[in-house]
Amino acid sequence: MQRRNRKKMKALVVIGLIVVVLGILSFFIPVPHTEHHGLDAGDIHVGVNTHHDEMLPPYVGVGLIVVGAGLMIAGRKRA
């Protein structure tokens, strides 16, 4: 039973580390976003696709880092 708990706690540390890395990357790597704007008139369809690269708001990155750190701390305390 203790082995199973250790594996779960080790998994928490790994998941926490991944979330922290994603949080750090969110400050530097833009997220691609594509929008389709179109006009339908009977059988005729005219449309334009627009592509934007947008940065996530800073609070998203900070939130990911805090949550990831919390998971890592929780995983280390019980292991």
Cβ 28 vs Cβ 56: under 8 Å: no
> What pLDDT score does 43 carry?
81
Whether this model's pTM surpasses 0.85 = no
Mean residue pLDDT of the chain comes to: 87
In terms of residue numbers, what domain contains 11? Answer: 1-26+57-79
Asked, for residue 40, whether it belongs to a domain, the answer is no
Asked, for residue 78, whether it belongs to a domain, the answer is yes
The average pLDDT across 71-78 equals 83
> What pLDDT score does 2 carry?
65
Asked, for residue 41, whether it belongs to a domain, the answer is no
Residue 34, pLDDT above cutoff 80:
yes
Residue 45, pLDDT above cutoff 90:
no
The average pLDDT across 42-55 equals 87
Q: Which of 23, 30, 12 is nearest to 64 (CA)?
A: 23
Token pair of 59 as six digits: 């609070």
Q: Which of 28, 20, 16 is nearest to 79 (CA)?
A: 16
Asked, for residue 48, whether it belongs to a domain, the answer is no
Please, which pLDDT band fits residue 27 given cuts at 50, 70 and 90?
A: very high
Asked, for residue 36, whether it belongs to a domain, the answer is no
